[in-house]
Chains A and B, each alone.
Chain A
Amino acid sequence: MTTFEDWPWQYSFPPFFTVQPNLQTRKIQLAAWCDLVLKYHKANNLYVLDIREAQGSPLFHNVDISRKLSIEGISEVMNEMHRRHNAEPLDKTKNRWHVLWHTLDEWAAILYSWADDTGQLGGVCTFYEIANTSGKEFSGIDQDVLLKALRKLEQRKKAEIIHLDDGNGVKFF
């Protein structure tokens, strides 16, 4: 069971759960949704969102005022997050999403500075090691998100992904 206490005021405002037809209003509404989704995922350390299952989560369903965001509403929110680089679709139907409370570039920067700080440059780390480093933002990071972030580094020639038998590894330069 997930826990989240930091609900914004909009969460108990019924119109929040209806996609507003007024464009200006909708823009503000979607921005609020994006913030909430990111905060929620960050607080619960969640990386993947499936639209088909999302309606069951308290994130999109406020039991107290019995309102839930429609499936179309959720995908609209996800598309908006995609535009902001805070989400990436995992399939063509755009049902499964990676939720990125740090964008991939940010993740890449965080990982590189961690490697720099801990003297890992030139050495090899496995993905398992990275995800299990405690006390860091990327503790428990989703393997696929990690791979995507490291690819970004690879493009800039700052790292190289190594395919090992029991998982992947990375070498920072």
Chain B
Amino acid sequence: MDRFEHAFPYLLDGEERVARARNIRIYEGDVKTSNEGGDLLLTSHRLIWGAPGAIENCDACLALLLSYVVFLEVETPGAFVFTRSTKIILHLSPSLPGKSPGPSSSHHSNHIKFSFKDGLEDSFLAGLRNAVRLKKWEVPTVQSPSKKVLPVIKTRAGIVGIERNLEEKQRATDHSISAAFQDLSKLMEMAKDMVSLSKTISTKIRDKQGEITDDETIQFKSYLLSLGIDDPVTRVGYYSELDFVMNLARQVAEILEIPVQEQGGMMSMADAYCRVNRARGLELLSPEDLLSACRHLDKLSPCHLRLREFESGVQIIQSSTHSDESVIEDTVAQIERSGTLTPEEVSQKMGLSLLLARERLITTEKAGKICRDESIEGLRFYPNLFLQRET
């Protein structure tokens, strides 16, 4: 109790009222004192406890400087305890010399408690923590109105306000975008390093062919291949767009030639995109680049692939040895063998994707070799008996 001092509840210079609570009892250590049922006023500098009505009447009260507070904690009643009041425990530093006289000069304990009979409001606790943290009493209170720095007036209303708001938002998005791309560019740099590393390793292997056993070389090369191609074509190395596209086309042709043959001469762009990028590994292609490379496929002299666009807009890569006539012939043969087929059945029988099966059927239909039956059961194709019986 020796840290308390007698005081009147007037605010000092620079002191502000923060919060107030009623029906408070003071404990010294864990012992009840006779100070109970009073009001507690929290200011930015002090805690002022007064007997009921004392604060309103400006009678003498007990004040505790917040500068004594070292640490504060909250004691909430346990589930099986009858005392229902919440307590704030304040751990205090020793009293300073030159302190105003207080109710007691003895000290039994280094902590005191305020017991809140009516319950502790969160705002009070928050205010207390805040006041202890801010240490306003340390801020020199010498200030004259003329010296006051005029606060910058921020217009929050009107068009200026809206504009400012927008500007701020823009700045924020700008910031987050550039932060996001920083990561990406780092990744790209790393990828480049990886590629050059694999290149040097492969040249070393080539040089030291004799020293390493053949088995090891082959094994290492297979590792490199499983990573992807060891020298992907990237934009960086090419000055002209055409050069880049042509080289890319050459690479695409190399990658896709065999898979396209395996798939029966046609491959959808989605499949092609996946396969090419899987082969490239790190230096991924954009769909646009792949498409423009595919447009140049037929300009390569020893190339057996070309880009083909169906009337429905579906684009595929087609082997040039694989003509429409043979597609139509195959499809008609399939349908005549079965009597009638749906696109699903065709895709199963010929091992094609549904999209390609559909395009095949439609191409065949355009040639007048088959005809369609659209019903609630779906789309089916039949041999074109209309034409066959006519002749």
Contacts and interface: CB of A to CB of B under 8 A. Distances in A.
A, B assembled together? yes
Interface of A: 9-10, 13-15, 17-18, 20-22, 24-25, 28-29, 32, 66-67
Contacts of B375: 14, 17-18, 66-67
Contacts of A67: 373, 375
Contacts, number: 50
Contact of A25 (B373, B374, B386): B386
A9 B382 CA distance: 14
Interface in B352-391: 365-366, 368, 371-375, 380, 382, 384-387, 389-390
B372 A28 contact: no
B389 A9 contact: yes
21 contacts: A9-B385, A9-B389, A10-B386, A13-B382, A13-B385, A14-B340, A14-B373, A14-B382, A15-B372, A17-B373, A18-B374, A20-B372, A22-B365, A22-B368, A22-B371, A24-B387, A25-B368, A25-B371, A25-B384, A28-B387, A66-B375
A14 B342 CA distance: 13
Given A14-B380, A21-B365, A22-B368, A28 B386 contact: yes
Nearest to A14: B373
Interface residues of B, number: 17
A163 B332 CA distance: 62
A28 B386 CA distance: 6
Interface of B: 340, 365-366, 368, 371-375, 380, 382, 384-387, 389-390
B338 to A, nearest CB: 14
Contact of B372 (A10, A21, A24, A66): A21
A25 B388 CA distance: 10
Given A18-B371, A32-B386, 5 more contacts: A14-B380, A15-B373, A20-B371, A22-B368, A25-B387
B292 to A, nearest CB: 32
Q: Which 9 pairs between the two chains have the least Cβ-Cβ distance?
A: A14-B373, A15-B371, A15-B373, A28-B386, A18-B374, A15-B382, A18-B373, A20-B371, A24-B368
Contacts of B340: 14
Nearest to B382: A15
A141 B357 CA distance: 52
B343 to A, nearest CB: 15
Nearest to B385: A13
Contacts of A21: 365, 372
Given A13-B385, A28-B386, A29-B386, A22 B373 contact: no
